[in-house]
Structure 1
Amino acid sequence: MHLDHANIVTPELDRTVGFFTQVLGLTLGPRPGFGVPGAWLYHQDRPLIHLTQATGGLPAARVTPRIDHIALRIDDLNQWDAIISRLRSHGIAYQISESDELSDRQLWVSLAPGLTIELIVAQ
């Protein structure tokens, strides 16, 4: 079993696309015409992240964005350092959590109110 995709409803579609493409290196790819703006972001020819533009008129029980966070595991410390460099060059704020009790480093990026991306790498 593996993660097929995460769908994120965001009020800041362009900023969110920019983060995933310019910082994390995903690529824009084909997306069906759903009648609402969005983007599919690919990794290794697979649509890993689906983005949907938040729109008005949602049912009262639904709020946007409708995901607390997604976590992406980074392969190694070299890739980790490259992502931090790109975050800095794009002026994107982030927080790093390191704990002696955990074998992983965690980095948190808030892309929009209520939309957080966690990156993880083994220490």
Structure 2
Amino acid sequence: MGVLKLDHFTIRTERWAETAEFFEQVIGLTPGPRPGFLFPGCWMYAGGHPLLHIASVTGDQKDLQVYLGDKQGGYGSGSLDHVSMRCEGLEQVQTRLQSMGIVFRERVIPQIGEHQLFLEDPNGITIEMIFDYAPGSRIVGQAMPHLAIGTSEDEC
């Protein structure tokens, strides 16, 4: 028994339509079926699986609060740093982001076989897109500092 994978993440936002458009146009998720909840929102899919649930916090939030609970003073824990997605097609994504004028940061970490892109959604949430590292792949966005990678007995 144990965790198998990330099932989905939920964003509560006043900008739900803009958020859905961002995740469709920039990240490449697809809008799909959603149960008939009594509050506005949408579900965004990757590979036939609902990966992102977007819930509107505009207007009367009674039905949203019944479903997700009341979040006094905010929409989440405030401790989430970023959401990461394993992706493919690095060069196509880099080109698409540049053509859309999307600012993104990136770095490669050959030791773990990753080429990482970081960008912000309309709510200020950092999205990490991880691609398999390939020697010769180029950084075309804003280069991030190289990381010193070592080992530590204090880490889990």
Deviation at 1:101, TM superposition (A): 5.0
Report the equivalent of 2:64.
none
> Does 1:47 find its partner at 2:71?
no
> Does 1:85 find its partner at 2:88?
no
Deviation at 1:41, TM superposition (A): 0.9
What is the letter of the counterpart of residue 19 of structure 2?
A: T
- Aligned pair count? 119
Identity of aligned residues (%): 36
Deviation at 1:70, TM superposition (A): 1.1
> Does 1:13 find its partner at 2:16?
yes
What is the letter of the counterpart of residue 10 of structure 1?
A: T
Q: In structure 2, do the counterparts of structure 1 residues 68 and 14 end up closer, same or farther at CA, with 3 Å as the change threshold? A: farther
Deviation at 1:72, TM superposition (A): 0.3
Matches of 2:47 and 2:123, distance apart in 1: 29
Rg comparison, structure with higher value = 2
Contact 1:68 / 1:116 at 8 angstroms: preserved in 2? yes
> Does 1:32 find its partner at 2:35?
yes
1:36-95: CA deviations, max 9, x gaps?
Answer: 2211011222212111123477543x52365432100113xxx11111222122222211
The higher-RCO structure (CA 8 Å, 6+ apart) is 1
What is the letter of the counterpart of residue 64 of structure 1?
A: Y
Structure 1: runs of 5 or more not aligned: none
Structure 2: runs of 5 or more not aligned: 62-69, 134-156
Matches of 1:10 and 1:80, distance apart in 2: 29
> Does 1:64 find its partner at 2:80?
no
Q: TM-score, normalised by structure 2?
A: 0.63
> Does 1:73 find its partner at 2:76?
no
Matches of 1:43 and 1:73, distance apart in 2: 11
Q: In structure 2, do the counterparts of structure 1 residues 85 and 31 end up closer, same or farther at CA, with 3 Å as the change threshold? A: same
Matches of 1:65 and 1:116, distance apart in 2: 14
Q: TM-score, normalised by structure 1?
A: 0.77
What is the letter of the counterpart of residue 23 of structure 1?
A: V
Q: What is the RMSD of the two structures over their aligned residues, measured on CA atoms?
A: 2.4
